[in-house]
Structure 1
Amino acid sequence: MILVTPELRDQLRANHRARCEALRRGERAPDLMPVVRFFNPLGPATWLATELDEDGILFGLADLGFGCPELRSFALEELESIQLPFGLGIERDILFESEFPLSVYAEAASRAGSLVEGERNLHGDAPDADGSLR
């Protein structure tokens, strides 16, 4: 699977330019909407990316499944090179549509200890104490 299509690359690069331009002007960096979501089909690792620089470094929210999702940079080449069992690799969530700025996803993930659980909480899909969905 192609992790970053030309259209996604254009959006990610535009976000990077917008952040750099804001910082150059002495303004606060914009709170960008994630453009793409990657995941490990065999494990808990999940990434939301908002931008891509000229060196192929993405920025966004990374959750490797250890209970401490964090805002950080990660290399597209590294994600593309991961080889999982059964010939699988990291996948792009083709249905992902960002509904919130990255800071909202980061806060929800931090509170839940997981990006996936944080997203469920944001969408009201978190189970109640009895295990039923709201």
Structure 2
Amino acid sequence: MPELIPADLRLRMLENGQRSAVGKDHDPPPVVKLFTPDANATWLLSELDPDCPDIAFGLCDLGLGFPELGSVSLSEIAEVRGGLGLPVERDIAFVADRPLSAYARAARAAGMIVT
């Protein structure tokens, strides 16, 4: 099974995580969009914790109408299955066009992640 987040994108996410770890005020765009093809869960992730690279930070939407910013475990996301048993996928066509905070504002207003 291919890696959910390829090495080049993981590196960008780690760089964003390092900026956060040293207290730099930044609002990076999401680096990856993960989703369940047979459910309504979506994650827009912008950074990885440099001390624990299994922990990502981003906008999380489990399809319940309450998207929120927070930390998630990539290994736990990799275990998620939708109603038909399909695994989480990365949207390879996703290219962020605004900072994570803008996606969060739009998601709160819509009750779901809008890309």
TM-score, with structure 2 as normaliser = 0.90
Match of 2:30 among 28, 34, 51: 34
What's the counterpart of residue 3 of structure 2?
Answer: 2
What residue number does 2:19 align with?
18
Q: Runs of 5+ in structure 2 lacking a partner?
A: none
| Residues in 2 aligned to 1:87 and 1:58: alpha-carbon distance in whole angstroms | 23
**Matching of residues 80-99 of structure 1 within 5 Å:** 80-84=78-82, 88-99=86-97
Asked if 1:51 is matched to 2:51, the reply is no
Among 103, 106, 110, the residue aligned to 1:105? 103
Instruction: Report Cα offsets for 1:45-79 as digits up to 9, x if no partner.
Output: 10000001132100000011111100010000001
The answer on whether the counterparts of 2:35 and 2:43 sit within 8 Å (CA) in structure 1 is yes
SS of aligned partner of 1:115: coil
Q: How many residues of Structure 1 are paired with residues of Structure 2 in the alignment?
A: 112
Deviation (angstroms), 1:88: 1.9
Aligned-pair distance for 1:2? Answer: 2.0
Superposition TM-score, scaled by structure 1 size: 0.78
Residue segments in structure 1 that go unaligned for 5+ positions in a row: 120-134
Residue aligned with 1:52, SS: strand
> Which runs of structure 1 show a deviation greater than 6 angstroms over 4 or more consecutive aligned residues?
none
Q: Distance in 2 between matches of 1:114 and 1:85?
A: 19
Q: Take 1:113 and 1:87, find their aligned partners in 2: how far apart are those partners?
A: 25
Task: State the secondary structure of the residue aligned to 2:59.
Answer: strand
Q: Which moved more, 1:82-91 or 1:68-77?
A: 82-91
Q: Answer 1 or 2: higher relative contact order, Cα 8 Å, separation at least 6.
A: 2
Deviation at 1:87, TM superposition (A): 5.2
More strand by share: 2
Higher-Rg member (1/2) = 1
Code of the aligned partner of 1:72: G
2:73 counterpart of 1:75: yes
